[in-house]
Chains A and B, each alone.
Chain A
Amino acid sequence: MAALRYAGVSVGYDRTPVLTHVDLELRAGQRLILVGPNGAGKSTLIKSVLGLVPVLAGEATVLGESPAAARGRAGYVPQIDTLDADFPVSVRQVVMMGRYRRIGWWRPARPADRRAVAEALELVGLADRAGHRFGTLSGGQRQRVLLARAIAAEPRLLLLDEPFNGVDAVSQEAIVRVLRELSAAGTALVLSTHDLTVARELADLVCLVNGRQWAVGTPGETLTAGKLRSAYGGGLVLVAP
């Protein structure tokens, strides 16, 4: 079963499409990278998979169901600047939020949940920061905490919105390593980025978008000068990798 299948899909708000002509199929363990300029519709596409933005046309299947029916089953790592950095919450508590759906909203955490939290923090290399307040960490470390939170939920499909924005080299390396481990373990990954170097390095599939889907395929097929120029509208200056 495909983790994600979009056929001729348009997504958008208030019946106004933001992104059209999306045709994708993602299997377990594959890494799909959404590439496109700001405002291209990458975040909107991710939100449509999460069931938060309506599918206006076409057929969308997420983990075998409609996006709305699958809501809550796919993992999500939001952009860090959408979070309240002043909130009084420790790193450990943030990662525990990933377990809430399994624990239930009212039951106390069990030893298995604490173990999952500790293991997720270990995986992203922040076990020593568990007791720190989330807001005291650097941008890259916060991003890793959010990744740990998503991992603690053990999703089969994980979506990350610009996980490398405002992230230092050490954290970026840690995130890339963890993402490789997750997909090796069978998790399907979707992430958006501006960074073509990361896209080339990490992607099984690249989806080039800007208002519509311009290309989908392996990095070699999609990240070509011609296709990038057509998607970016000619304003892109390519630097050799």
Chain B
Amino acid sequence: MNWWDDALHRATAEVVLAGALAGLVGVQVVLRRLSFFTMALTHATFPGVVAASIIGVNILLGGVVAGGIVALGVAALTRRRGQDASAATGVLLSAGFALGATLVATQSGFSRDLSSFLVGSILTVGPQDLVTTAVALVVVALVLLAGARPLQLIAFDRAGAEAAGVPVARWDIVLLLTLEVVVVTMVPAVGTILAVSLIVAPAAAARLWTDRLWPMTALSVALAVGSGLAGLWVSSRWNVAAGASISLVATALLACSWLAARIRLLPARLAAA
């Protein structure tokens, strides 16, 4: 029997790839403070994925198109002065979710698939999903590597980046579309809704441990992959939903990192007191 024929083996490979993907893009999300936007993106991806599966086209395509529309919409709204981006983002978040739920309700006998879109179904991951995730990982890694300097400059000093001639708006769109590709690629592993925790939590935890960008990136990837593997193990050991346990492990890692950071700071505070 081929190693890949085992569902758990495929699931293991998928969480490693999806974890690396989430950890990489998560650094950008945390440093650019895009967590809330990512939340909206995941909810907007949901109706796209559902619509694609109803029409019978690739769900990846449906998700990218729906999320892309939202990403560009929010980008356009935030470029207009006087617009409150968080209000627009918040409304899009619930509207996207409502649209997805409505689409699901129009189809009878769809309820089982609904939860797989929302929270993933890692044990049904096929070879095709693995190939997609691997390709997405390579492409996203290359984009982030190629954009490392402009993205760093824009995140740190937007006005300075503009003055230096960096095409800031173009890089914003590249980043939002990259994020969207990551969210959609992660649907089989953790679903649209739970993708946020695997993207944000490891990167936010990594930020607490280091003040340097490259170690932060490496640690973020390691923590995300670790969350994926640990969550998968918990899921198979106690027979609970994999997507949920992966999210919970990632959240626990963030909580522990935060606690550790507080304790590390404690001696300095006591000395100062």
Do A and B pair up? The answer is: yes
Q: Which residue numbers of A lie inside 8 Å of B, CB to CB?
A: 13, 50, 52, 71-72, 74, 76, 78, 82-84, 87-90, 94, 97, 100-101, 105-106, 133, 146, 149, 153
Task: List residues of chain A with CB within 8 A of the CB of B207.
Answer: 88
Contact A50 B163 (CB under 8 A): yes
Task: List residues of chain A with CB within 8 A of the CB of B115.
Answer: none
20 interchain pairs (CB within 8 A)? Answer: A71-B165, A72-B164, A72-B165, A76-B164, A78-B157, A78-B160, A78-B163, A82-B157, A83-B160, A84-B155, A84-B157, A87-B155, A97-B153, A97-B160, A97-B164, A101-B165, A105-B149, A105-B150, A133-B211, A153-B164
Q: Complex: how many Å from CA A13 to CA B155? A: 24
Q: Complex: how many Å from CA A71 to CA B159? A: 13
Task: List residues of chain A with CB within 8 A of the CB of B149.
Answer: 97, 100, 105-106
Known: A83-B157, A97-B153, A101-B165. A106 touches B146 (CB 8 A): yes
Of chain B, the residue at the smallest CB distance from A74 is B163
Q: Complex: how many Å from CA A76 to CA B210? A: 29
Known contacts A82-B158, A89-B156, A106-B149, then 18 further A-B pairs from the complex at CB < 8 Å, ordered by chain A residue? A52-B162, A71-B165, A74-B163, A76-B164, A78-B157, A78-B160, A82-B157, A84-B155, A87-B156, A88-B210, A88-B216, A89-B213, A90-B212, A97-B152, A97-B156, A100-B149, A105-B150, A149-B160
State the interface size on chain B (CB cutoff 8 A).
Answer: 23
Q: Complex: how many Å from CA A153 to CA B160? A: 12
In whole Å, how far is B28's beta carbon from the nearest beta carbon of chain A?
A: 12
Contact A84 B156 (CB under 8 A): yes
Q: Complex: how many Å from CA A89 to CA B210? A: 11
Task: List residues of chain B with CB within 8 A of the CB of A50.
Answer: 162-163
- At the interface, is chain B mostly helix, strand, loop or mixed? helix
5 interchain residue pairs of minimum CB distance: A72-B165, A76-B163, A78-B159, A87-B156, A50-B163
Q: Complex: how many Å from CA A77 to CA B74? A: 29
Q: Which residue numbers of B lie inside 8 Å of A, CB to CB?
A: 31, 81, 146, 149-150, 152-153, 155-160, 162-165, 207, 210-213, 216
Q: Complex: how many Å from CA A119 to CA B146? A: 28
Most-contacted residue by chain A among B146, B155, B163 (CB, 10 A)? B163
Task: List residues of chain A with CB within 8 A of the CB of B212.
Answer: 88, 90
Number of A-B contacts (CB under 8 A): 65
Of chain B, the residue at the smallest CB distance from A89 is B156
Most-contacted residue by chain A among B146, B152, B157 (CB, 10 A)? B157
Of the candidates B158, B159, B211, the one whose C-beta lies within 8 Å of that of A88 is B211
Contact A83 B156 (CB under 8 A): yes
Task: List residues of chain A with CB within 8 A of the CB of B159.
Answer: 76, 78, 82
Task: List residues of chain B with CB within 8 A of the CB of A149.
Answer: 160
Q: Complex: how many Å from CA A94 to CA B198? A: 30
Contact B165 A76 (CB under 8 A): no
Task: List residues of chain A with CB within 8 A of the CB of B157.
Answer: 78, 82-84, 97
Task: List residues of chain B with CB within 8 A of the CB of A100.
Answer: 149, 153, 164
Task: List residues of chain B with CB within 8 A of the CB of A146.
Answer: 160
Q: Complex: how many Å from CA A97 to CA B166? A: 12
Task: List residues of chain A with CB within 8 A of the CB of B160.
Answer: 76, 78, 83, 97, 146, 149
Q: Complex: how many Å from CA A76 to CA B162? A: 10
Task: List residues of chain A with CB within 8 A of the CB of B211.
Answer: 88, 90, 133
Of chain A, the residue at the smallest CB distance from B156 is A87
Task: List residues of chain B with CB within 8 A of the CB of A106.
Answer: 146, 149
In whole Å, how far is A141's beta carbon from the nearest beta carbon of chain B?
A: 16
